[in-house]
Chains A and B, each alone.
Chain A
Amino acid sequence: MLYRESGQYKTSYIADQAIFPIREDRIGMAIIGLVALAIPFFASDFFLNAIMTPFLILSLAAIGLNILTGYAGQLSLGTGAFMGVGAYSCYKLTSIFPDVNIIILVMISGLFSAGIGVMFGLPSLRIKGLYLAVTTLAAQFFLEWCFIRIPWLYNYNASGAIEVPERRGFGDIILTGPSASAMTQYFVVLAIVVVVTLAVKNIVRGRIGRQWMMIRDMDIAAELMGVRPLTAKLSAFAVSSYLSGVAGAMFIFFYLGAAEPSAFSITLSFQILFMVILGGLGSLVGSFFGAAFIWGLPIVLRAGFPALGLNVGAEVIFHIAQMVVGALIIFFLITEPHGLARLWQIGKEKLRVWPFPYA
């Protein structure tokens, strides 16, 4: 009733190939957009700072991994380290060029991550699946080692951590640093994530995205259609690592504010991988679902216990939340191995034929 595409005829291929060909989808996106713009004016700083901003950043990281694993079919466990490369490059860049707008530097720092991603992507030309995952694990540990052992990367700070300096832009607005407002940082992150997601959407529905999916689904046939495995796989590594790098730089500059090397440990890699698997491999909207689930659920659970009037210690709540999240991951993977994105799709299909069970 609410969601019908009947009667919406397309008269051109351009209309047929639009990102949101169905009117109801466009209305839905407009509402989501308005809500995203309105949130900062109603929500507390805590909500923006601790929930929305990191959710958006992690969504971008999940999209990055989804490009590689979901679209191009190459398993990777090095996302955390590639995010780290982005963060450390951005830190170095802003130390060297303090006057350049930090947003530009964030976008540039992804390029360093892309370069390193391509380097560690080279083994993918020979090995597949779990074996490739192990080589990306090597990237994870090697890069983490670099973050600890190369003091130049953190400007020889005694603490061994990077601390985000204050940077202003667009007139005199404080964009980063301890005194930046949550609202500013949220809007910056929102703008970057929206623009980059649109760009990624254009890539995955065009020739390059098709090449990735061809390699994923049937590499032999893909070669026969003229896809060079070298270009297709390495371009997937490049785009994926670029997105991870940008996400990593934002993670430090617009969310954490300071970071030790352990911020980019294998735990983060796994967290992103869970977001991708749970959200749905090969789905951009799924990356957002996955990030919301993995990032949001522990926060909801932690807030939920006190709200119910249960008087339990913070430590206990933290552990229970972790257990519940773990159990839910298993539950979801058993009931819907294709992730939340598939559930979303099924829901939409059901709505289309409602009130009948099938068309």
Chain B
Amino acid sequence: MNARVKHVELHADDDGLNPGDVMLKLENVSLSFGGVKAISDISFDILKGEIRAIIGPNGAGKTSMLNVINGFYHPQQGVITFRGQARSRMQPYEAAASGIARTFQNVALFKGMSTLDNIMSGRTLKMNKNFFWQVLNIGPARNEEIEHRLKVEEIIDFLEIQHIRKTPVGKLPYGLQKRVELGRALAMEPDLLLLDEPMAGMNLEEKEDMSRFILDVNSQMGTTIALIEHDMGVVMDISDRVVVLDYGRKIGDGTPQDVKNNQDVIDAYLGVSH
């Protein structure tokens, strides 16, 4: 298959925000499950065009934070403002429609489908030809399929996974599965991309590749990225700003340098002598 596409044309939708404007804002968000407080009174914001890292020890509430942002959990208190609009009780598919994509801590690919189909599934919201055109598979439905295939092939080129295009993802090694999952999220051409531990379980080379992809996505497509990651080297190198959680509370927020020197953060990670 000759890729006719030389450069990546995918980009986040123009939403009227300039780089540096507040894209997502959380104010005093609290979430609890029964008596367990997963998140208490957290406020922070994500600016358009930045790479925002969320770090913290295990059980700090990082994944819950992402789940709140894309609508899996509904916080009991607090206001979430996305692109200037406060929202309440948003469903995950509504979050998807408003331009939030995500990858999962444990790879959540569609195991029975090929790499190509998995990434095509990211185009679901962009396709709209109705049932009867689909049945006939001529004219508009077919053109739509081909048109989106072109976009998907751009992503496949971008992530350098041409050789596994037709392979069922269940058969792929873990590192490639993570990459396909990133591709699937990119296919949505999101404004805000949430990555839940994109580098967990990877070796050094794979981490370097993944970091390169994340930086490229950010700079070439203009996608705003929020990521959870445990590898401090990666976090300090690629993120613009870092928010630190511990036991559901925010204990630090700022540039990697600020956070690194924050005494609370050091205590949370290394423990304090009593």
The chain A residues found within 8 Å of chain B, CB to CB, are 10-11, 13-14, 16-17, 199, 202-203, 206-208, 210-211, 213-214, 216-218, 220-228, 235, 282
Contact = CB atoms under 8 A, between A and B. Distances in A.
B153 to A, nearest CB: 8
A206 B104 contact: no
A203 B93 contact: no
Interface in B140-164: 141-142, 144-146, 149-150, 153
A282 B117 CA distance: 14
Interface string B110-129: 11110001001110110101
B129 A207 contact: yes
Interface stretch (B14-22, B95-103, B246-254): B95-103
B33 interface: no
A208 B131 contact: yes
Contact of A221 (B91, B95, B110, B127): B110
A210 B146 contact: no
A211 B111 CA distance: 13
B252 to A, nearest CB: 29
Q: Which of A17, A202, A221 has the most CB of B within 10 A?
A: A221
A17 B122 contact: no
B168 to A, nearest CB: 11
Contact of B134 (A11, A14, A203, A218): A203
Interface of B: 1-2, 70, 72, 91-93, 95-97, 101-102, 104, 108-113, 117, 120-122, 124-125, 127, 129, 131, 134-137, 141-142, 144-146, 149-150, 153, 184, 188
A157 B166 CA distance: 56
A207 B137 CA distance: 11
Contacts of B108: 218, 220-221
B137 A226 contact: no
Given A202-B134, A220-B108, 19 more contacts: A13-B150, A13-B153, A199-B135, A202-B135, A206-B137, A207-B134, A208-B134, A213-B110, A213-B112, A214-B121, A214-B124, A221-B110, A222-B110, A222-B121, A225-B101, A225-B122, A225-B125, A226-B96, A227-B93
Contact of B95 (A16, A206, A220, A224): A224
A224 B125 CA distance: 10
B49 to A, nearest CB: 23
A203 B131 CA distance: 8
Given A13-B149, A13-B150, A202-B137, A224 B70 contact: yes
B146 A14 contact: yes
Nearest to A10: B1
Contacts of A226: 93, 96-97, 124-125, 188
6 contacts: A13-B149, A14-B142, A202-B136, A203-B134, A222-B121, A225-B96
A27 to B, nearest CB: 21
A300 B102 CA distance: 54
A302 to B, nearest CB: 37
Contacts of A213: 110, 112-113, 117
B128 to A, nearest CB: 8
B175 to A, nearest CB: 19
B116 to A, nearest CB: 9
B104 A221 contact: yes
B120 A210 contact: yes
Given A202-B134, A202-B136, A206-B141, A216 B112 contact: yes
A270 to B, nearest CB: 24
Given A207-B134, A218-B110, A223 B93 contact: yes
Given A13-B146, A13-B149, A210 B113 contact: yes
B184 A225 contact: yes
A211 B122 CA distance: 10
B64 to A, nearest CB: 15
A225 B1 contact: no
In the A-B complex, the 9 residue pairs with the smallest Cβ-Cβ separation, listed nearest first, are A217-B110, A226-B125, A202-B137, A226-B96, A223-B92, A221-B108, A206-B134, A199-B135, A207-B127
B93 A228 contact: yes
A26 B112 CA distance: 25
A194 to B, nearest CB: 14
Nearest to A218: B108
Contacts of B122: 225
A217 B111 contact: yes
Contacts of B120: 210
B124 A210 contact: yes
Contacts of B112: 213, 216-217, 282
Nearest to B91: A223
Contacts of A211: 121, 124
Contacts of B95: 224
B121 A224 contact: no
A223 B149 CA distance: 21
A218 B93 contact: no
Contacts of B1: 10, 13, 16
Contacts of B102: 224
A224 B144 CA distance: 22
A13 B113 CA distance: 18
Given A14-B146, A199-B135, A208-B134, A221 B124 contact: no
Contact of B109 (A14, A199, A206, A218): A218
Q: Which of A203, A210, A216, A225 has the most CB of B within 10 A?
A: A225
Contacts of B136: 199, 202
Contacts of B101: 224-225
Nearest to B126: A226
Contacts of A221: 104, 108-110
Contacts of A216: 110, 112
